[in-house]
Amino acid sequence: MLLYHFIHSLFFAPMSTSSTAGSDFLTQKTTEELLFLIRNPSLYHETLVTAAQHELRQRGVNPRQAIADTQDAQMEWDTDSGSRINWAAVLTILLFVGGAVLYWWHMPAKRTSEDGKSGPAVLETVASRPIPNFTAQTEASVQRMLQLLPAAARRDEKATRKYLILAQRFWTAQHQSAYLTKEATAGRIDSNFPSQVDLTYQEWRKLTSVLVYNHNLKPIMQARVDIMQDIAQREMTALTLMRGNYQLGNPPLNEQIRIALASVPQLLTELQGKTTTLHMTLGK
């Protein structure tokens, strides 16, 4: 409703051609209406956005900080562990129940025992391979990245906090991607593979969706975030291709995927500050 009244007033409120009238027009707007305007600059004329920023400063509101706070809120939306869904656990339950239901559907209502007597039906489940929980590995990887930061960079607490949030999202997705690639290489995948790929792809999206913003990181942090983004794009491409190949009845891994992932081991080496070379074996 606030948005409706704001837009309505922008287009239908009478305005004078004088600068004084324009100033009065913005003065009559609430702070929330002005914040909406500067947070959506593509919707309005540059002059109007600039005037709104000036009016906010007159009210003691820092426009840059207001925009940054909005970006922080979006990035930290799901960082509270109490509000996050454990998708790995959900998938495990669904796979277990789904396998049981399928088996129950196809089995006879009664099973005859060796002595010819009818016995109760025995419910059996179909084995599935859910994505493991990589919480411990993820935390260790994030701590490693924190330790690699120079003391001078860590003194910027806000930048460090943002950097660690991004690192957490990166390693959550990376460990899952590496697991799925390993399973596909070994041929240990089943009909649940597309769903597992989708869940992992969404973990990558939690990272890439916030990389469109400028988080004002220290140069060394930004350099490593750039590496994260490069790896993310390669892994997301590989996941998409593997899922498509599987659904077409083809081997999940092919030359195109090997090319996409070829640089990932070296990029991970740089990201973790290691001097040894990591190797990833992709099956033919």
Q: What is the CA radius of gyration of the chain?
A: 27
Place of tokens 């950097």: 163
> For residue 257, which of 279, 277, 284 has the smallest C-alpha distance?
284
Q: Are residues 52 and 144 in the same domain?
A: no
Asked if the structure places residue 146 within a domain, the reply is yes
C-beta of residue 183 within 8 angstroms of C-beta of residue 192: no
pLDDT at 42: 59
pTM, full prediction: 0.57
Asked, for residue 108, whether it belongs to a domain, the answer is no
Would 153 be classed as within a structural domain? yes
Cα–Cα distance list, 277 to 27, 146, 194, 264 (Å): 61, 21, 31, 11
Checking if the pLDDT of 6 tops 50, the result is: no
In this structure, is the dihedral angle defined by the CA atoms of residues 74, 75, 80 and 82, taken in order, positive or negative? Answer: positive
What percent of the chain lies above the pLDDT cut of 90? 49
Tens of pLDDT, residue by residue over 104-127, are 444 444 444 444 444 444 444 344
State the pLDDT at residue 148. 95
28-37, 70-79, 264-273: range with highest mean pLDDT: 264-273
Range of the domain at 163: 135-271
Task: Look at residue 68 in the predicted model and tell me its pLDDT.
Answer: 63
Question: Do 43 and 155 lie in a common domain?
Answer: no
Say if residue 31's pLDDT is above 50: yes
Classify residue 90: in a domain, yes or no.
no
pLDDT of 83: 40
Does residue 120 lie within any of the structural domains?
Answer: no
> In this structure, which amino acid lies at residue 123?
L
* Number of domains present in the structure of the chain: 2
pLDDT at 61: 84
Residues 162 and 254 reside in one and the same domain: yes
Over residues 32-78, the pLDDT tens digits come to 777 777 776 755 677 877 888 888 888 888 877 766 655 554 555 44
Closest CA to 197 of 254, 235, 228, 250: 235
The mean pLDDT of the chain is 76
Q: What is the pLDDT of residues 154-195, one digit of tens each?
A: 999 999 999 999 999 999 999 999 999 999 999 999 999 999
Answer with the residue of higher pLDDT: 277 or 254. Answer: 254
Q: 82 lies in a domain?
A: no
Q: Which residues contact 70 (CB under 8 A, 6 or more apart)?
A: 39
Q: Give the three-state DSSP class for 246.
A: helix
